[in-house]
Homo-oligomer: A and B are copies of this chain.
Amino acid sequence: MRIGQLARRSGVSVRALRYYEEQRLLESTRTPGGQRDYPDEALERVQLIQDLFAAGLSSRTVVELLPCVSTGVATLAMLDQLIIERDRIAARIQDLTRAKTKLGRVIENVTAANVAQD
C-alpha cells in the first residue's frame, strides 16, 4: 500500500504519515523508485498512534510506549510510564467532567433566563 491510500484509509494526511516516520512512530519499506510501501498492519498502527495522540500523549511518549502497547512486552520503566499516563488521563477526565458540569449549569441558568425574558 502506498502513502496516499494509507492516508485515505486512516483519515490522516500524507504529511502526517511522513511526520510519523520522521518521529520513528511508523516504518515503511521503499520501492526501487524510492516510494514508501506499507503493509496492511500499518493501518491499525496509524489508528493506534492517533488514539494515543488523542489521549494527549506526546510523540516522544508514544515512541517509548508503542513497542509494549503493540507487543504486550514491557520493561518496568515502561510500566511506570504507562501508569503515569493512565493516571494523567484519568485526572484530565476529572477536569473535563467538572468543566462540563459547570457549563451545563450555566446553560440551564441562561436558558431559564431567556425563557423568562421571552
Cβ 8 A contact of A113, one of B72, B90, B100, B102: B72
Q: Which residues of B contact A82 (CB under 8 A)?
A: 103, 106-107, 110
Q: Is the CB of B52 within 8 A of A110?
A: no
Does the CB pair A99–B68 fall under 8 Å? no
Count how many chain A residues have C-beta atoms less than 8 Å from C-beta atoms of the other chain.
37
Q: How far is the CA of A78 from the CA of B114 in the complex (A)?
A: 12
- Report yes or no: A103 in contact with B86, Cβ–Cβ below 8 A: yes
Considering residues A73, A93, A103, which has the most beta carbons from chain B within 10 angstroms of its beta carbon?
Answer: A103
Count identical subunits in the complex.
2
When each residue 51-63 of chain A gets 1 if its CB lies under 8 Å from chain B and 0 otherwise, what string results?
Answer: 1101110000000
Complex partner residue of A110 from B56, B73, B86, CB under 8 angstroms: B73
> Shortest distance in angstroms between A94's beta carbon and chain B's nearest beta carbon?
10
In the complex, given contacts A74-B114, A86-B100, A89-B99, what are 8 additional A-B residue pairs having Cβ atoms less than 8 angstroms apart? A51-B98, A73-B113, A74-B110, A82-B110, A89-B100, A89-B103, A90-B100, A92-B96
